Structure 1
């Protein structure tokens, strides 16, 4: 394995008999933005705190640009950290908050102020240098926290769920802002989140953690289109999970004979993304997907939900419930509950995993 700019080898954290992080190994190239994605308790924040030096390592190593920093104090690791809670000093102005790290490093006042004003301009807060945190919005406070982390010119930038306290519109704005700044400066960064939209839309790579272990790392497209495990398939994006019995490339699901890539035998879970399914009234001609091999299953509309950009249909297919998403175009009339329908999708869009994985 080629060493990365940030190299994490067999990183483990135990609390008595509980293993919070289990032999995490990652090689992160210089300049990449990588998400640690997973549910609460999966080990992503603990991993970040070990990288930052805020949590002692049970075993394993952490290296930055070839230097082992596993046992170094946080201030000696050349790392910037952006917290979920902003952690600004309420009695200090924006300028003084941003200058703080430089002053602790004994940077001359004039130089510290020059660099702080540059960082403030980078996060687009010019003209607010003399305000206190209480005079700023949540999004502006997060920008101050980002400027304070950037001003020390760290080798690594760590984000610990920094957007979770913001409303939806501000989160969208800050995602774009963080990505813009990270790419402009080329800082190797880790972004901890439980929000798949943040991970997929912002990051070069996504590392999915579950139960303290790494399930898969790859580009957003890799994880979404080619999940390595059932957990990744269900956590990264929305999916239907259907129980079936496989015999080679054929799978029996509730009496329907379906196909899937590859060959397997026994009880399986079949997964299909809701937006990859095309729903047509039973008896109508379905899609042909340019002649690609197709799967289809019949059912009945049980319910429909309007969610703005999509209509979400719940389909009763035998003893299983299938979710289907259709984009709204404005003015359409949803199909009625109780309507018989046929669901069609490409065989290539069918994911299969061992039952209960």
Structure 2
């Protein structure tokens, strides 16, 4: 049975996960996940190890059976359909190339298994190899290629079958930082050009934010939040999302009205409320100025001393000792000699609207 032959089922998206669940005896790896993905959309599943993102992708692929729930593609229930009937292309973290086959042979494999005419296979393989910029390497074996080139072969092999959905399971984690950035741009460009629906699993926030139309943040088998990269970063739904999607300062205090008291410090919150709260502030939103300098209106301020200055190339990370609390601030580097020396008295300030406040248990 193919997707086209499966019985019709109502779903909100081109790909619809409906209360999708996976149990391993008493352990629930994925707990009633609901997700609708539009046709042509690039959606990333983001979260720490063990959050259920890879298990979710493997259920979509049919590599792991669902314990409960349904997987619907184009209005058809494919939950019980075998993997080879699902019309999906898979790209794995380990590339999973056949070492005895050439580049062309690896790319052609899926088409040969489908019994396509040889002339059509040759044409589509040539197109796929050109698409991932491996022209002239058709006769090489995987062992003769770099890691980035092997990943391109894996991508071409997945796309050459023209799948309805492309599934990518942490495909860039084995690459160095520069090549990883290059490959994520290439994957996104190819996906946009082809209009293929894509589900991308990653634990890397930069990959998720830069590549995705929407990001699904998962934790302990649950979805914490679904949104655009901007939504997740600027309007996180929970402290977990705020801390996982970007770096944060985390402070605990008690709020009364618009004022949060944190270890004797008064911090203005953007929304009045009452009770115990957790305050989160992005380090790059914290401005560091000489001690006593008046901050612009509408800003929180904390006086302290530079305890550590870490030069990271494009930014400097400052650790500020404010007595009862410690803050981290990030600033763009300003050339040689631009570091603020350790021990310097400073004022850390940030906009009130950049103060994220979440309630916490008493």
Smaller-chain TM-score bracket:
over 0.9
Select which of 52, 62, 67 maps to 1:58: 67
Counterpart in 2 of 1:267?
A: 276
Please give the residue correspondences for 1:1-150 in structure 2 after superposition, counting only pairs within 5 Å: 3-150=12-159
Counterpart in 1 of 2:6?
A: none
Select which of 162, 178, 186 maps to 1:177: 186
Structure 2 unpaired stretches of 5+: 1-9
1:26-84: per-residue Cα shift (whole Å, max 9, x none)?
Answer: 11111010110000000000000000000000001111111110110001111000000
Alpha-carbon offset, residue 285 of structure 1: 3.3
Structure 1 unpaired stretches of 5+: none
With 319-328 and 230-239 compared, the bigger mean Cα shift is at: 319-328
Counterpart in 2 of 1:305?
A: 310
Please give the residue correspondences for 1:132-211 in structure 2 after superposition, counting only pairs within 5 Å: 132-211=141-220
The answer to whether structure 1 residue 252 and structure 2 residue 261 are counterparts is yes
Alpha-carbon offset, residue 2 of structure 1: 7.2
Alpha-carbon offset, residue 345 of structure 1: 0.8
Q: Report if the CA contact (8 A) 1:52-1:77 is conserved.
A: yes
What's the TM-score, normalizing by structure 2?
0.95
1:81-110: per-residue Cα shift (whole Å, max 9, x none)?
Answer: 000000000110100100000010111112
Alpha-carbon offset, residue 329 of structure 1: 2.3
Number of residue pairs the alignment of both structures matches: 353
Select which of 321, 331, 345 maps to 2:336: 331
Aligned Cα RMSD in Å? Answer: 1.3
What's the TM-score, normalizing by structure 1?
0.97
Q: Report if the CA contact (8 A) 1:254-1:318 is conserved.
A: no
Counterpart in 2 of 1:343?
A: 348
Give the secondary-structure state (helix, strand or coil) at the position aligned to 1:174: helix
With 169-178 and 249-258 compared, the bigger mean Cα shift is at: 249-258
Give distance in 1, aligned partners of 2:361 and 2:308. 27
Give distance in 1, aligned partners of 2:75 and 2:131. 29
Alpha-carbon offset, residue 264 of structure 1: 2.1
Alpha-carbon offset, residue 252 of structure 1: 0.6
Please give the residue correspondences for 1:230-241 in structure 2 after superposition, counting only pairs within 5 Å: 230-241=239-250
Give the secondary-structure state (helix, strand or coil) at the position aligned to 1:336: coil
1:239-291: per-residue Cα shift (whole Å, max 9, x none)?
Answer: 100111111221011222111122222221100000101111112233x2xx4
